[in-house]
Amino acid sequence: MSPTPQPHSPREPIGTGQPLETAILFIDLVNSSDFATVLGLREYAAYVDAFEELCQRQCEHFFKTYHEGEYQPGKNYSWEFSGDELVVFMHTDRPANDVYQLVCLAITLKCGWLGAAPNAERIASGVPAADLGAGVHIGTVWATPRGNGYRLRGAAISTGKRIETASRGGDRFRIYVSDPAFKRISRKTKNLLFSPRHVPSMRGIVLPVAVREVHDSFMDLSQRLAPEHAVSFRDVATRALHSATFDAWIHSCLQVWDERANGRVTDECMEMCKTLLTVDPTNAVALYHAAQGARERDDLETAKLYLEELTTCSPRFGDGWLELGRLCKQTGSLAEARKAIIQARRHGVSVEEESVPEAGPL
C-alpha cells in the first residue's frame, strides 16, 4: 500500500524559490577529530564552544560594526553552525565584493582563533596552535524565502565544503579560493596574493575544481577584528612567532598591523622580516617591509635589492612595482622607474598613484 502523499508546508509553497548567486565560506577546525579522540566529552565540547563563540562574535562585529550595517542580515548574508564548522553565505548585487569580504572574514577568524584561550594555553605550554582551514566558493543556489532570509540548497554549497576540506593541505593561510571565486576578484584585489592554480583531489566531486591558496595578505586587520580579539591576537601572535607556532601567515598579519599602527617599520619589525626571510626568502610581506625599513634608514641600495627580489617572486603584486618605481625615481634611474610604474599599472595600481617619468633619449 502506497503512503498517503503529504501536503507541502504552507510556508514553502511549490515554485516560491529562485536561483541566487551566492558566495560561500566554510571554515572548520583542523584536526578536530584528533582532538575529539584525546579530549573528554566535556573538554571537547568546551573546545568547540570556544570556536563557536569566537565565530559568532567576530561575524557580528565584521558585518554589523565594521561595515556599519551596509549589509542586511538574511537579505544579504547569513551564517550557521554544523558541528565544529561554520558556513557563511553572502548574496548582494556585487558578487565580486561578496567573495572578497568572505576572504577577509576568513582571515579575521584565523587571527581571532589564534588569540582565543585554547590556543593561548597551547602556545604558553610550547605546543603548536590549533589552526583553521577555509574554503571560499561562488555559485548559483536555489533560494527559498524563509523569514527575513532564505533557505539555500545547491551543489555549490557541497563544493564549498569540499574546498574547505582540501584547504588543510595548504602551506600558507590554508584558505582555498575556487576558480570561479578567484576570477571575480583577481583584477580588483591589491592586498591579497594567491598561489598558482592547482586541482586538489576532492571526494564526492564529479568535475574537478581548481583552487588557489591565499599566499600572503597586506590587509589591515586592526578595525576588522573585534576589539577583544584584536588585543588577544597581538599578544598571542608575538609569542607564537617565538614558539613552535612559527607560521608565515601570522607574521604577515602582525607585520602589516604594526606598520600601520607605527607609521614606519620599527627595529623589532625589521628584525622579524630578516628572520622570516632566512626561512622563506620569497615572503612578499617580509620583502616589502624590509625594503620600506631600509629606505626609512636611508639604505636605498638595500631597499632596491629587496624590491627587485619582491617583484621577481611576486610579479603580479602591483604595489611592489610601484614602490620600486618610486625608489628608482628618487635615485634618478628614470628608465627603470618608468618600466616599474608601467608594470604597477598593469597589475591594478591606478594612474593617479604615481606618474610615469618621460622616456629619455634613445
Domain shared by 209 and 304, yes or no: no
- 352 and 285 fall within a common domain: yes
Average pLDDT over residues 170-188: 93
C-alpha cell at 318: 602591483
Q: Is residue 253 part of a domain?
A: no
> Do 169 and 292 have their domain in common?
no
- Do 58 and 179 belong together in one domain? yes
Residue 236, CA distances (Å) to 54, 88, 128, 242, 359 in order: 15, 26, 12, 10, 50
What local confidence, expressed as pLDDT, does residue 164 receive? 95
Strands 18-29 and 85-90: antiparallel
Question: Domain for residue 248, yes or no?
Answer: no
Same structural domain for residues 57 and 176? yes
Grid cell 571554515 is found at 27
How many residues make up the chain in this entry? 362
Angle of helix 284-296 relative to helix 248-262, nearest 10 degrees?
30
**Residues near 260 by Cβ (< 8 Å), separated by ≥ 6?**
220, 222
Note whether residue 158 is domain-resident: yes
Structurally, the chain folds into a number of domains equal to: 2
Residue 35 within any structural domain of the chain: yes
The DSSP secondary-structure symbol of 65 reads I
The per-residue pLDDT for range 145-159, each reduced to its tens digit, is: 999 999 999 999 999
Cell numbers 588543510 label which residue?
168
Residue 11 has pLDDT above 50, yes or no: no
The one-character DSSP state at 123 is H
Whether residues 138 and 271 share a domain: the answer is: no
Give yes or no: residues 196 and 323 share one domain. no
For residues 168 and 299, membership in a common domain is answered with no
Q: Are residues 65 and 185 in the same domain?
A: yes
- Ranking 57-61, 74-78, 122-126, 321-325 by mean pLDDT, the lowest is 122-126
Query: Nine-digit cell at 169?
Result: 593541505
Which amino acid, one-letter code, is at 321? W
| 212, β-bridge pairs | 177
At what angle are helices 248-262 and 267-279 packed, to 10 degrees? 160
pTM of the complete model: 0.90
Identity of the amino acid at 307: L
pLDDT exceeds cutoff 70 at 206: no
Question: Tens digit of pLDDT for each residue in 220-279?
Answer: 999 999 999 999 999 999 888 887 656 889 999 999 999 999 999 999 999 999 999 998
- Find the CATH number of the domain harbouring 345: 1.25.40.10
The CATH number assigned to the domain holding 192 equals: 3.30.70.1230
Residues 200 and 285 in one domain: no
Claim to verify: residue 209 and residue 281 sit in the same structural domain: no
Domain boundary among 154, 183, 217: 217
Structural domain for 202, as ranges: 18-217
Interior/surface letters 239-250, b for 16+ CB within 10 angstroms, e for the rest: ebbebebebbbb
Quick one: pLDDT at residue 204?
A: 67
Q: Which of 362, 292, 315, 26 is nearest to 193 (CA)?
A: 315
**Which of 161, 187, 217 is at the close of a domain?**
217
Q: 333 and 341 in contact (C-beta within 8 Å)? A: no
